[in-house]
Amino acid sequence: MLPSNQKWFTEICKEAGYGVSWSIESHLAHEKTDFQTIDVYQTTHWGKMMVIDGFVMLTTRDNFLYHEMMSHPTLFSHPNPRRVLVIGGGDCGTLREVLRHSEVERCTQVEIDEQVTRLAEKHFPELCESNDDPRAELIFDDGLAHIRNTEPGSLDVIIVDSTDPIGPAEGLFGPEFVADCYRALADGGIFVQQSESPLLHQHLIAGIRDNMEKAGFSDIKTLGFPQPCYPSGWWSATQACKNGELKPADPARFQASAIKTRYYNPEVHRGALATTMP
């Protein structure tokens, strides 16, 4: 039993009349940047926890679910993902998972707020272990401007690992941005965007899929997966393929890759593709 004076951090999801709380041991960091407010806490049961503008971004205990599902379903769907762009992803966990794939020749991460990465390096060093990989390029800039200036057809995969569609991430959910991503991808390229909770945010997911369809993507799939630290405990990533088809991972390719995962595997991938959104 927790002591009566135990401190708690609570995230409120007003639109769903819902909240979730963590018991806190200590407050490790507080940074107010030009873009947002970032806090890091030590929890009693979930390891360290990063919070941005009052919303939980990740915990030590369950971040592997999100990072694996934002990266591996897309990279194993693409036949040869050599050139990858991550927009957002400042904690660098998605970058780490991308670089587990030996086919990747370059992964550029464009994060608008450098302090997210610096705090991750200090408090979540396990997520940043690939930051010095020679294939990694870390850019601290506006992702919207970066994709507008990207050479057409120059990328195989674009991963949008963003915060909720408010503040600096709001533009990443707009139709103009999705159209710019379509232009930057080569034929057969795959675009994937974190798309919130299938239980609480169906309207947002519908809008994301509509933007992708209007941009010209030929195949669109929304994959659901568990994510206990996010509202409802159920999260999603929405994929779109340019002039191609989204397919589950080939088990032989997955085995040959020798990539060690904690949640993702070809069976999970196939099941996520089969999930019907509410």
What's the confidence (pLDDT) of residue 1? 47
Q: Which amino acid is at 212?
A: M
Q: Looking at this protein, which amino acid is placed at residue 116? A: V
Q: Provide the residue ranges of all domains of the chain, joining segments of one domain with +.
A: 7-59, 63-274
Residue whose entry in the numeric block shows the structure tokens 């926890």: 49
Q: SS3 of 277, please?
A: coil
Q: Give the type of residue at 87.
A: I
Exposed, middle or buried by CB within 10 Å (0-12, 13-18, 19+), for 90?
Answer: buried
The arrangement of secondary structure in 7-59, i.e. its CATH architecture, is Roll (2.30)
Furthest-apart CA atoms within the chain: distance in Å: 59
Instruction: Please tell me the pTM assigned to this model.
Output: 0.94
3-state secondary structure of 179: helix
Write the burial class of residue 28 (CB in 10 Å: 0-12 exposed, 13-18 middle, 19+ buried).
middle
Exposure of 193 in the CB half-sphere (CA atoms within 13 A)? 28
Residue linked to tokens 């992702």 = 143
The reported pLDDT for the residue numbered 4 is 61
Count CB-CB contacts under 10 A for residue 26.
10
Which of 39, 156, 161, 164 is catalytic? The answer is: 161
Count of residues making up the chain? 278
Q: Rounded to an integer, what distance in angstroms lies between the CA atom of residue 151 and that of residue 142?
A: 16
pLDDT at 246: 95
> Cα(56)–Cα(40) distance, rounded to whole angstroms?
10
Quick one: tokens of 143? 């992702």
91 belongs to the catalytic site? no
Q: In a structure prediction context, what are the per-residue pLDDT tens digits for the chain, which is 278 residues long?
A: 455 678 999 999 888 888 999 999 999 999 999 999 999 999 999 999 999 999 999 999 999 999 999 999 999 999 999 999 999 999 999 999 999 999 999 999 999 999 999 999 999 999 999 999 999 999 999 999 999 999 999 999 999 998 665 555 455 668 999 999 999 999 999 999 999 999 998 999 999 999 999 999 999 999 999 999 999 999 999 999 999 999 999 999 999 999 999 999 999 999 999 876 65
CATH of 63-274, one of 3.40.50.150, 3.40.50.2000, 3.40.50.1370, 3.40.640.10: 3.40.50.150
